[in-house]
Amino acid sequence: MDDLKATLRELHRQLESAQGVDDESRSLLRALDDDIHALLVDETEETPSEAEFLTERAQEVAARFASNHPQLEKLLREVADKLASIGI
């Protein structure tokens, strides 16, 4: 779980310095981050469908960044992989 949190921190750091990220994409990232943090805080209420949905959302957002922001895309894929590996 600490590894996931570290990756999220790195994603935030990279996002702050990224050039050309539109407001809609930033909003998608913020919403995804908020939802991940909500599940991390209260894991007892998560359901498998919520966990799978978050993993899929992370992958979809990563695909959106693939061509213009490959470093952000890489970090988002790492987030999705870590979510899947810990069952969140």
* pLDDT tops 70 at residue 26: yes
17 domain residue, yes or no: no
32 domain residue, yes or no: yes
Nearest CA to 83 out of 60, 52, 61, 62 is that of 52
pTM over the 0.75 mark: yes
16 domain residue, yes or no: no
33 domain residue, yes or no: yes
Q: Report pLDDT for 73.
A: 92
Q: How many domains, in total, are found in the chain?
A: 1
Residue 24 backbone phi and psi in degrees, to 5: -65, -40
60 domain residue, yes or no: yes
Q: How far apart are the C-alpha atoms of 77 and 83, rounded to whole Å? A: 10
Q: Report pLDDT for 10.
A: 92
15 domain residue, yes or no: no
Q: Report pLDDT for 41.
A: 78
Write out the residue range of the structural domain in which residue 77 sits. 2-10+22-86
User: pLDDT per residue over 36-81, tens digit each?
Assistant: 888 777 665 555 677 788 889 999 999 988 888 999 999 999 999 9
Q: Alpha helices, DSSP H only, in 1-88?
A: 2-17, 23-41, 48-65, 70-86
